[in-house]
Amino acid sequence: MKQAPRKDADVDEKIRDPPPPANFPPICPRNPTLKPIIKRLDRDVFQKNGLHHIPYRDSNPRNLPLPVFDGEKWPETEQLEEEDLLTIDFENEEVIDVWTQRKKQQQAQIVAEMKQARFKEVPLNSLKKIINAIKYPTEMKLLPHIIREWRRQAYPITLVDAQKIARLATKHDEVEVILQMTHPEVYGLYYDMAGLREITRGLAKRTATVEQSKEKRFTPERMLATVPELLRAAVGEDAKNLLKDPGVMGNQLWGLVARFVRDPNFRNEKTVLEICGLGEQVVRSVRDYDFESLFPADISSVENSRQIAFNMKYHTADFLPLLYALRQLVEILRSPYRLCAEEVNNATFQTSNFHRIKKRIADFLKHRYSTFNIHYENLRSPEFVESTPYKWYRLNQLLAFETAENHLRLTKLQSWQQELLKQYTTIADEVDASNEALPESFHLPLTAEAALSKVEDILRKWNRVLKEQKIPVKTDFKLDVQSF
């Protein structure tokens, strides 16, 4: 009963003066530009409101241990509580609580400092200055503690600030900082589609990294689970379109296929099925997205053509990871069929179906099966028999038959390639017996090529405009296609 008021007081104090998060850096590299900005913010925001100083250090004082931040309480309080309470006996047998004396001295010192301090109104562009002054990855971890208090004091945070933070997080590979601040009611950070694409690029970059320390490890499953959490920080219509935007979805696919290319241990049956599942969503987003409506057909006749050209540059950069991801996806889907063609050519016993298989695989590898038009309810209808999806269906049906009869032995295929091929040949075989409609996933190799063609066409068109305007486009997400 007697301890309850103290617990309530501790909770109130934690709400009034929350400690830094657990990943707050105990020491940062020297940065002469950042230090005075934080010092002024510390004085005119934190100290002015009777809060702890921002525990920013760019050097380690001698004989003093670095503070340990756990996100629950301030380090100095933690250290004092761990110390044994010291008592001193005087001649009159009065017991003095040194801990209490020390606490009172600290409080008196804080009051004295506040009386001597001359506070000024903090410039509203201080947060912008801090963001611009950040040079090192460790400094990114300062932001959650600072921005939380900036928000609590009702200072403004703009979409531009949020985008800059997202770009810095991607640049320095510190995407966890963004994930810490996805609660707008606490941090005040909201993102439009440009900011959301930047965050997912950071997630993809981390996912694609093979050599990672334990604290940096970021699995594809975590990336896929994290993206929907960004909905609460998205603004307006962008929240509705987040999971349908080809830029956002393409970034996630880029992370998966880039990791697939770079890490041989990542190439397995489970991964290739995840890539196919995400690939279907990416293809649908590309199919339904109106790229042509983003810019006028001829920007030279528009008054602000230069500004439109720069907007075109930013959109091009947004969609380049999508382009590289689709190219690699198409190559992954084609790889088992290329090896099948080699097996058919090298087979000593040639059946009557082998000629048909050779021709259909050759057409498929030459991108002649590319199409978005895949919806046929009746497999026996004349429209379906004359269509591209029918040729794809017949190819897999023939492969299923020849492998079942052991006329075709696919010894060169890796396990994930066998699983990928089996996925399509099994469906073709089962549907032939049941005469049911083919599922949309069966046509992914065809629709992925159509999506790639659509993205290549629009980016080629935009690049011609940018070349005329002499505006270069750079990206850190270039991915050379690797064949398997």
pTM: 0.84
Tell me, what's the pLDDT at 224?
87
Residue 453 inside a domain? The answer is: yes
Are 302 and 156 in a shared domain? yes
Same domain, 34 and 154: no
- Domain range for 199: 137-310
Share of the chain above pLDDT 70, in %: 83
Q: Which of 194-203, 249-258, 281-290, 386-395 has the lowest mean pLDDT?
A: 386-395
Measure the CA–CA gap between 266 and 349, rounded to whole angstroms. 36
pLDDT at 428: 87
Question: Is residue 233 situated within a structural domain?
Answer: yes
Domain membership flag for residue 276: yes
Task: Choose the weakest-confidence range: 174-183, 234-243, 375-384, 418-427.
Answer: 375-384
Question: What radius of gyration, in Å, describes the C-alpha atoms of the chain?
Answer: 30
Question: Measured between alpha carbons, how far is 180 from 226 in angstroms, rounded to an integer?
Answer: 11
Q: 114, 136, 158 — which closes off a domain?
A: 136
Q: Is residue 9 part of a domain?
A: no
Residues 202 and 347 both lie in one domain: no
Least reliable range by pLDDT among 60-64, 168-172, 214-218, 323-327: 214-218
The residue out of 136, 154, 174 marking a domain boundary is 136
Residue 300 shares a structural domain with residue 316: no
Measured CA to CA, the distance from residue 413 to residue 399 in angstroms comes to 14
In a domain, 5, yes or no: no
Asked if 301 and 392 sit in the same domain, the reply is: no
Residues 430 and 397 reside in one and the same domain:
yes
In a domain, 73, yes or no: yes
Residues 453 and 343 in one domain: yes
Most confident of 7-16, 271-280, 292-301, 393-402: 271-280
Contact 132, 143 (CB under 8 A): no
pLDDT of residue 114: 55
Number of domain units in the chain: 3
Distance (Å) of CA 189 to CA 106, 148, 166, 206: 35, 10, 10, 22
Domain assignment present for residue 13? The answer is: no
Give the model's pLDDT for residue 84. 36
pLDDT digits (tens, 9 = 90+) for 414-431: 999 999 999 999 998 887
User: Cα separations (Å) of 199 from 60, 137, 251, 327, 331?
Assistant: 33, 16, 9, 22, 27
Residues 80 and 154 in one domain: no
Is 6 within the bounds of a domain? no
pLDDT at position 458, please? 96
Under a CB-based contact definition with an 8 Å cutoff, are residues 167 and 8 in contact? no
Task: State the residue for tokens 């996805």.
Answer: 182
Same domain, 371 and 410: yes
Same domain, 348 and 456: yes
Residue 119's pLDDT band, with cuts at 50, 70 and 90, is low
Per-residue confidence (pLDDT) for residue 355, from 0 to 100: 87
DSSP 129-189: HHHHH--SGGGGGGHHHHHHHHHHTT----HHHHHHHHHHHHHTT-HHHHHHT--HHHH--
What pLDDT is attached to residue 321?
97
Task: Please report the pLDDT score of residue 332 as a whole number.
Answer: 97
Q: Do 447 and 301 have their domain in common?
A: no
Q: Name the residue with tokens 């770079």.
A: 262
- Please check whether residues 27 and 153 belong to one and the same domain: no
- Among residues 104, 136, 168, the one where a domain terminates is 136
Structure tokens at 294: 């983003």
Q: How far apart are CA 163 and CA 170, in angstroms?
A: 11
The pLDDT, as a whole number, for residue 373 is: 85
Tell me, what's the pLDDT at 344?
Answer: 87
